[in-house]
Chains A and B, each alone.
Chain A
Amino acid sequence: MVVDWVLVLEWVVKSILLVFILLTGFAYTTFYERKLAALIQLRIGPNRAGPGGWLQPAADGVKLIFKEEFTPAEAYKFVFVLAPIITVVPAIVIMAVVPWGDMVNLFGRMVPLYLADINVAVLYILSVASVSVYGIVLAGWASNNKYAMLGGLRSSAQMLSYELALGLAFIGPILIAGSMSLMDIVEAQRNVWFIVYQPLGAIIFYIAMLAEVNRAPFDMPEAEQELTAGYHTEYSGMKFSLFFMGEYIKMAAVSGIFASLFLGGFRGPFVDQLPGLGPLYFFLKIVASLGVMIWIRATMPRLRYDRLMAFGWKVLLPLALLNVLVTAVVIVALGL
């Protein structure tokens, strides 16, 4: 077997670039959230570090690195250290199948602007998302603290419940595009975004996605008033910031998936002529989706836990099933 070293190099460079963008993007997502939430709530937000507060994420990072790392004496040490890692890794690897552009000509070589275009991309996303539950559950258990434990259990029940609606919301775009590859799904949205054909599916997906990443109003696992800080009560320093990082990278990742499924991904005006515009459009769509998430967090109160479960099972899941049924019937009836 002849190994194409240039191809290997290309993959390595793209992977490192993606990881680097996600890791720095995470810091500025927190800044974006604090600034935007401040704007919505008529506050000023961080404005001390650097001009306009733009160095705030760096200052936060330095602070977290120098904080004391504390491990409770009664904790299950190995799992306690493992849990933050299990939280961050799925958040990063899930972006591997999301395309952020078409082919571009770089140094006389056609380079595709995606890591992997696999025919089971949607299933890959679902399986990685389902594995990401473990980080939170194990953190709750390994801390050996009843608040952490309750937070972990709550989140596992919540994420399992909303995963079903999330999985069903995937089916609409798959049916229309006739493929599970995200590249094909984006390609099928060349003329019309799927949010036009699938408004209900898009709304269900967005709600379920908020619950998957434990964002307000579904931030039940870390409800401060009842569970101190939920699953990461006992975590401090860099271990805590890994959970923080996991949450914000997941926000960006699910926004990217949402943009690919319903907002046309990297498609936009003049992308065919200038493929370099693809990543820019994709980035703008992610920023818009993140903005809506922050807007929701800044305005909505948290749901009560039983209401949250009832909403997931009795409203979201039947609606998602109905959406699949209607989509399938319409596609067969129109003979697409």
Chain B
Amino acid sequence: MNGELILFFVLAIVAISAALGMLFSRNAVYSALFLILNFATVAVFFLLLGAPFIAMAQVTVYAGAIMVLFLFVIMLLGAEQIQHQARRGWQRPLAMLLTLVLLAESAYLIFTRSDVLTVLQPAAADYGSPQSIGMLLFSEYLLPFEVTSILLLAAMVGAIVLVKEDKKSGGQK
């Protein structure tokens, strides 16, 4: 148990530093790399919690697929160097205000409803195994699963329609 606690704190420090590094890095490629590190650390957290399936899915989907596309776009557009841009005056106070609201909300929840957070059932032995996740997805959560599928399909079709050449106007614009 003690070793697990030490591991947790080391991982937490890595995750938070990676998140901060992402925010404060002046180079968009480095920001993306910090974000990948953060995703990988979160995957290790899932492993610690005994959820290998989610851990692997986290690495494959976020670190492996989505962030590669992010990097791809950043590099292709050559947008890695952030210029000293003009101040958008109203954004900073608004961001601070929203952050404070979020912090207050979470603090309120943690302090007033801590009883809800503690009564966790111990997980079943095969909890988080590919079989049990598959069974749950196709029985209890069938409707949300199918709705998500349709949503992703719609996004996919939308992306193809958007980049499709207009045949009538002769292709090149």
Does A71 have its Cβ within 8 Å of any Cβ on chain B?
A: no
Contact B68 A153 (CB under 8 A): no
Interface size range of chain B in the complex:
20 to 34
A138→B29 CA distance, assembly (Å): 9
- Known A-B contacts A131-B64, A141-B29, A141-B75; A160 and B59 likewise in contact (beta carbons under 8 Å): no
- Residues in chain B near residue A130, CB distance under 8 A: 59-60, 63-65, 68
Closest-by-CB residue of A relative to B51 is A120
Does B19 have its Cβ within 8 Å of any Cβ on chain A?
A: no
- Residues in chain A near residue B129, CB distance under 8 A: 119
From 148 to 178 in chain A, residues with beta carbon under 8 angstroms from any chain B beta carbon are 149, 152-153, 156-157, 160, 163
- Residues in chain A near residue B36, CB distance under 8 A: 134
- Residues in chain B near residue A118, CB distance under 8 A: 52
Contact A127 B60 (CB under 8 A): yes
Map CB proximity to B onto A102-126 as digits: 1 under 8 Å, 0 otherwise: 0000000000000000111001101
Closest-by-CB residue of B relative to A152 is B75
Is chain A's interface secondary structure helix, strand, loop, or mixed overall? helix
A residues in contact (CB < 8 Å) with B = 1, 76, 79, 118-120, 123-124, 126-127, 129-131, 133-134, 137-138, 140-141, 149, 152-153, 156-157, 160, 163, 180
Please, could you name 23 A-B residue pairs with CB atoms under 8 Å apart, sorted by A? A1-B1, A1-B3, A79-B33, A118-B52, A120-B53, A120-B56, A126-B56, A127-B56, A127-B57, A130-B59, A130-B63, A130-B64, A131-B63, A131-B64, A133-B64, A133-B68, A134-B36, A134-B68, A137-B71, A137-B72, A141-B29, A156-B72, A180-B130
Given contacts A123-B56, A163-B65, 10 further A-B contacts (CB under 8 A): A1-B3, A119-B130, A120-B53, A120-B130, A126-B56, A126-B60, A130-B65, A131-B63, A134-B68, A134-B71
